[in-house]
């Protein structure tokens, strides 16, 4: 999993300044990769309410729930936005 760079406690100002350019480039690259994925997941949660699976009792039931919700969301997006 890619994460942005966090500051280390107790690091001197000179070391922070030395690492700043590389840390900023890394954080930008990570953000560029993560943002579309997070947008897709947010769209999926908004359209399907996929997190509400309280009545699911088995792995097979969970898979049916997840793939059914996803298929309905993509089919609805295809039919109503084309």
Residue from 41, 36, 59, 60 nearest 51 by CA: 41
Which residues form the domain of 80?
A: 49-82
- Is residue 60 over pLDDT 90? yes
- Domain annotation covers residue 43: no
Q: Using the predicted structure, report yes or no on whether residue 59 has a pLDDT greater than 70.
A: yes
Asked if the structure places residue 79 within a domain, the reply is yes
Question: CA-CA-CA-CA torsion for 51, 57, 58, 61, nearest 10 degrees?
Answer: -60
Q: 34 with 58, same domain?
A: no
Phi–psi pair at 7, nearest 5 degrees:
-70, 145
Task: Kindly report whether the global pTM for this prediction surpasses the value 0.95.
Answer: no
Whether 33 and 54 map to the same domain: the answer is no
CA distance 17 to 72: 50
Residues 33 and 53 in one domain: no
The number of domains in the chain is 2
> Does residue 44 form part of some domain?
no
Q: Are residues 56 and 34 in the same domain?
A: no
Check whether residue 26 and residue 59 sit in a common domain: no
- pLDDT for 4-34, tens place per residue? 777 778 777 887 788 888 888 888 998 898 8
């Amino acid at each position: 999993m890619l994460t942005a760079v966090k500051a280390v406690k107790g690091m001197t100002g000179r070391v922070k300044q030395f690492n700043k350019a590389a840390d900023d480039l890394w954080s930008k690259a990570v953000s560029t990769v993560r943002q579309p994925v997070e947008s897709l997941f947010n769209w999926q949660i908004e359209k399907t309410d996929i997190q509400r699976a309280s009545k699911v009792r088995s792995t097979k039931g969970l898979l049916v729930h997840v793939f059914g919700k996803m298929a309905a969301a993509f089919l609805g997006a295809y039919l109503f936005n084309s």
